[in-house]
Amino acid sequence: MMAKDGNPSPLTGTPTLRGHLAILRVDHWVKNVFVFPGVVVALAFAGLSLSFPMAVAILQALVAICLVASSYYTLNEVLDAPFDRLHPLKCTRPAACGQVHIRLAYAQWILLGALGIGIGWAVTPSTGITLAVLWLMGCLYNVPPIRTKDLPYIDVLSEAFNNPLRMLVGWFAVGSPATPPASLLLSYWFVGAYFMAIKRFAEYREINNPVVAAQYRKSFGFYSEKRLLTSIIFYASSSMLFLGAFAMRYRLELVLAFPLVALVMAIYLDIAFQENSAAQAPEKLHREPRLMVAVVLATIVIASLCFIDLPTVHQLFAPTLPRPAGR
């Protein structure tokens, strides 16, 4: 809904406790499952065994990141409310309907962020610092004048940067003395960008009106289906390239999981073409059985290959060409 001056109309409605609880988006906490690969890889790298104190630390880190995530969601709801009213699905969000008291929402944002970072710091200082960076990325993504979500490509890359941060939370919660591999973090970043770009693609198709799409999200004034699909291919290729670099350097057995990873990515892209696609709301992806089967299978295989040594794989991929003289 637009006002006569062309700007989004002001919010109307009555703030409620239910509205403030809803903008925590507890159902979105499922995204923090991306913490666990950091835990698994850290354990495998350091040769550590999961202990009760370590399990408690991981649980505390999960609570902390969920609080920081809800802080981010609160800010996102408040600042995006006028524009969400232009979206065919998001127009029913509590803040968009005026069911949120703005000043209280800002207090909620600060309190949740501080509490989450504090709990993370109690786990390890590195965990607390990582959560502080995650909270700051939420500010850069949502708050003018930077507001990276309005910038084409930067919107996807800045949002996807939360993926390696989630991995680092899991890594630091374990207390591993090893340094997280850059190749793995880059792969995690670009696969996050792949998923985020597909979300943009599904949203753009659902709106099906370039003018309305640009009013809802400024970056849609630049995007098109062709540009989004091209970026999706770039992010997918980059992610697999860095994952391959990680596997070749640190854990060659993981190459056996690549077909399953590719299957998950292919199914996810296919879902984006569906009407009212679940790719627009990742918290609803559990309703896609074929995707869930592929994800669970890939997770089991990847986790297993992090700990199982397969000498045959190393023999199969051993260099067969002579090394150039002088090297």
Mean pLDDT of the region 258-287: 91
Residue 315 pLDDT: 92
pLDDT tens, position by position, 224-259: 999 999 999 999 999 999 999 999 999 999 999 999
Q: Which residues contact 236 (CB under 8 A, 6 or more apart)?
A: 190, 191, 194, 265
Residue 196 corresponds to which amino acid? M
Predicted structure pTM score: 0.88
Structure tokens at 63: 């609570």
pLDDT tens, position by position, 184-223: 999 999 999 999 999 999 999 988 889 888 888 899 999 9
Which structural domain range is residue 156 located in? 15-180
Please indicate, yes or no, whether residues 51 and 107 belong to a single structural domain of this protein. yes
Please indicate, yes or no, whether residues 170 and 52 belong to a single structural domain of this protein. yes
Please indicate, yes or no, whether residues 193 and 165 belong to a single structural domain of this protein. no
Please indicate, yes or no, whether residues 49 and 185 belong to a single structural domain of this protein. no
pLDDT tens, position by position, 90-136: 777 787 778 888 899 999 999 999 999 999 999 999 999 999 999 99
Bridge partners of 8? 2
Structure tokens at 323: 């090394």
Output the CA–CA distances (angstroms, integers) from residue 166 to 101, 132, 159, 264, in the order listed: 30, 12, 12, 20
Does the pLDDT of residue 47 top 90, yes or no? Answer: no
Please indicate, yes or no, whether residues 198 and 287 belong to a single structural domain of this protein. yes
| Reported confidence tier of residue 327, pLDDT bands at 50, 70, 90 | low
Please indicate, yes or no, whether residues 38 and 176 belong to a single structural domain of this protein. yes
Three-state SS for the chain is CECCCCCECCCCCCCCHHHHHHCCCHHHHHHHHHHHHHHHHHHHHHCCCCCHHHHHHHHHHHHHHHHHHHHHHHHHHHHHHHHHCCCCCHHHCCCCCCCCCHHHHHHHHHHHHHHHHHHHHHHCHHHHHHHHHHHHHHHHHHCCCCCHHHCCCHHHHHHHCHHHHHHHHHHHHHCCCCCCCHHHHHHHHHHHHHHHHHHHHHHHHHHCCHHHHHHHCHHHHCCCHHHHHHHHHHHHHHHHHHHHHHHHHHCHHHHHHHHHHHHHHHHHHHHHCCCCCHHHCHHHHHHCHHHHHHHHHHHHHHHHHCCCCCHHHHHHCCCCCCCCCCC
Give the closest residue to 25 by CA, choosing from 105, 102, 98, 87: 105
Whether 319 is in a domain gets the answer: no
State how many domains the chain has.
2
Does the pLDDT of residue 5 top 60, yes or no? Answer: no
Please indicate, yes or no, whether residues 189 and 305 belong to a single structural domain of this protein. yes
Mean pLDDT of the region 138-148: 93
Out of 135, 150, 180, a domain closes at 180
Q: Distance (Å, rounded) from C-alpha 123 to C-alpha 162?
A: 19
